A and B are shown apart, each in its own frame.
Chain A
Amino acid sequence: MRDIIIHLVILLVLPPLLLGAITKTKAFFAGRSGPPLLQTYHDIYRLLRKGAVYSTATTWVFRAGPIVSLATVMIAGLLVPFGGNRATFVFAGDMIVFAYLLGLGRFFTMAAALDTGSSFEGMGASREAAFASLAEPALFLVLAVLAVLAHSVSLQEAFGVLATGTWGQMAPVLVVACIGLAVVLLAENSRIPVDDPATHLELTMLHEVMVLDHSGPDLAFIVYGSTMKLFLFGALLLQLVLPAPVLLGAQGVGLFCVGELVVAVLVGACESIIARLRLQRVPQFLVAAAVLGGLGVTILFAGGLR
């Protein structure tokens, strides 16, 4: 019960902090002071208090988009362990459910974008669809590495086994899996070098342009949901990079939260020092991630490391 409460509190409260940390890091690199760390919380609160504007072209699908995407991310969050804190919902095969829940959220976000009848949003949806479908095999190959290493199809159990000290002889496998997962994290969360969430031109954005017509509480749901998604991928990456007993136990939860902030700072640093890829290059970047995942699996099988 304690685990469940801590899990829910972390899942519901912490995510917007990551966006603040990213913005702060970017501001630091740019030599500015930037908005306060807690700005995202304020933004969400402000949006929740507003009314809404809807396009005359839209149907209920447009209104369902933010709701379904937030609901799916929240449930996916119940499947991911947070350091020493057990996942709320653990069963064999929850890895698959995790990936497919995010898929459902994406389906409705893209459908909502097409509902406006705007070319810009259609373009955003189309690019999101293209990149997400290429990121999917990469994610599954990383999950396969995890499953094969830990002999389990459950995130909680897999990370639990990993945490009992598998770095060492497994290092090459884990390194390629981590790089693959990092690429998936950047792509799934629309960060540079795949997407730039901070430009002023609709043509250059992917995720942001899809949600252009949302306003008020709908937009609050979307912002909240996307920070939560970033948090979840950060959690996966963190536990793959640091599969150490240090994350287990009571102090582990604290360490985990600090680790999430470190992930956010790294994402921010990454956004500050590298440029966005040309759109035609992005598929290659994602295929490279899938190849890394495949390489991980190959090393596992060929090296007889299982």
Chain B
Amino acid sequence: MGEDTSSETRRVEKLLDSVLESADAAERVALKAARELGFPDDEQHKIGMAVREAIVNAVVHGNRYNAHKKVHLAVTSGQDHLAVTIGDEGEGFDLAALPDPLAEQNLLHQSGRGIFLIRAFMDEFEVRRRVPGGTEVRLVKYLEKKQ
């Protein structure tokens, strides 16, 4: 774990415990990077929220609070974007099978809005299987919105 401070990119990696407090730690790292890149306040807030939602998913649904499983965080600052990858060591999930929280029959459900909010707040959202196991999500936000 550590930092890469080469001229074009800066990368911070952290290994986090499967506890809710890890969302605070991850949010701090992401917000610091977002601030240093020059994202406006509102965009920083959206980045922080998206990262928090993704960490909570990794802790709660991926690793199921298992103290033996870690959450893998990497925050990369490019010239014009911030990329955050969050990996868990769980069983994986089927993104297509998640219910649509905006569907009328789901609107009053208590849960199920996390990934929807991540997609709403970030410019790119990708889910992939993690090697050797688990799920990794990649969130990207551009300084200037991509057309």
Chains A and B form a bound pair: no
**Residues of A at under 8 Å CB distance from B?**
none
**Residues of B at under 8 Å CB distance from A?**
none
